[in-house]
Amino acid sequence: MRRNRWLLIAAVVVATAGVGVALWLSFSDRELPPSRAVVYQDFQACLLTGPSGLASPAAQPVWAGLQDVSTQTRIKVSYLAMAEPNTAASDSPYVATLLQRRCNVVVTIDQAAATAANQVASQHPNVRFLVPEGSSTSTNVLPIPTKDQQAAVSRLVHDAIR
C-alpha cells in the first residue's frame, strides 16, 4: 500500500513536469504582436466643427493639421460637432464643453464659433484659441491664415506646446 502511494505521487510529479515542459515548448517560439498602445503627452488640441463634422470642407485641412502635429508630438486631438443653429450664442456651450475637457488649444473654423471663443478667451489665459483669420481679439486668440491651413494649424499648435 505504501509503495503504491509513492508510485502515484511519482506519476503525478512526472505528469505535471511533462505538461509544464510541453506548454513551455509550445509558447517559446511564438512572438507577440507589437503593442498598439500610444503614450500621449498631457496636452490636448480640440477642433470645434459645424454640424457636418469632419466632412465639412472647412474642417478637413484643419483636422489634417491637428493629426500631423499629433503624429509628430504625441498630443491628443479630438473634435466636437455642433448642432444647428450656428450662432455665437448657440456655440458658447460647445466652447465651454471643450474647456471642461481641458483642451489646451481650441480650434474653431467658422465666425460664430470664433465669436464664442473670443467671449471666453480672457477668462482662460492658459488656453490658446485658434480662429479663422480676421476673428481674433485677445492675446491668446490667434488667427489661422487662409493660405495652407493644414501647415498653419500644425505650426500654431506646435508653438502652443512649447
Per-residue pLDDT band for 3 (boundaries 50, 70, 90) equals: low
One-letter amino acid of 90? S
Closest CA to 154 of 39, 63, 37, 33: 63
- 15-52: per-residue pLDDT in tens? 888 887 777 777 666 677 787 888 889 999 999 999 99
pLDDT at 30: 65
Q: What whole-number distance in Å separates Cα of residue 115 and Cα of residue 138? A: 11
CATH 3.40.50.2300 matches 44-161 = yes
Closest CA to 134 of 147, 143, 125: 143
- 43-53: per-residue pLDDT in tens? 999 999 999 99
DSSP 55: G
Cα torsion angle, 114, 146, 81, 86, sign: positive
In this prediction the pTM is 0.76
Domains of the chain by residue range: 1-30, 44-161
